[in-house]
Amino acid sequence: MEVSCVPPDLRQLDGRDAELLVCGVFSDERPLHGVAGLAGWRLAGMIDRLLESGFYGGAEGDALLLPGKPRLCAEKLVLIGLGARAGFSLARAERAIERLVAVARDLDVRSMIVEVPGRHVEAIDAEAGVDALLAALAAADARLDRVALVESAAAHNLVRDRVARARRLAARG
């Protein structure tokens, strides 16, 4: 599986092509930030309207599938509910990561752009988030060929190092 990074910027995201774009939504974060905020803007407020109507609330474990293209870089957008921002922890991030990997597997996608849950507000550190995502991807029976992680430019080297470390560990068996 090829793992790369992309900055959280619409122009940079537009330069990528994927079947699935995944981001987390806190139940009490308004306005939305990170990729969810960018996607909401591109979708002319559709995500905000779904939140305001109560159709989707961002409760922990909730997932919502929306069309992405032509306004987004991916065919499908999945919002993963993270629950309340207060008390967000690595354990909750890991549960959200397991959920998003399961959704990707169930949708049988080959390429995905993902914002690690909680990273858009630095509720967890990049190293722990990347490690949790890589572990979940390795454990899942997903057919992913390409995964791009949405991370700040400052975290790209860290992500690259963590991916290389995970590959070395996997090679050792």
Q: In this predicted model, what pLDDT tens digit does every residue of 117-169 receive, in sequence order?
A: 999 999 999 999 999 999 999 888 778 999 999 998 888 888 888 888 877 87
Q: Is the pLDDT of residue 110 over 90?
A: yes
Q: What mean pLDDT is reported for the chain?
A: 93
Backbone angles phi, psi at 146, to 5 degrees: -135, 130
CA proximity to 14, closest of 150, 157, 128? 150
pLDDT digits (tens, 9 = 90+) for 52-70: 999 999 999 999 999 999 9
Per-domain boundaries in the chain = 2-172
Q: Are strands 74-83 and 63-67 parallel, antiparallel or unpaired?
A: antiparallel
Q: Is the pLDDT of residue 105 over 80?
A: yes
| Distance (Å, whole) CA 92 – CA 69 | 30
Q: Is the pLDDT of residue 170 over 80?
A: no
164 vs 51: which has the higher pLDDT: 51
Q: Is the pLDDT of residue 173 over 70?
A: no
| Distance (Å, whole) CA 173 – CA 166 | 11
Architecture of domain 2-172: 3-Layer(aba) Sandwich (3.40)
- Residue 68: the pLDDT is 96
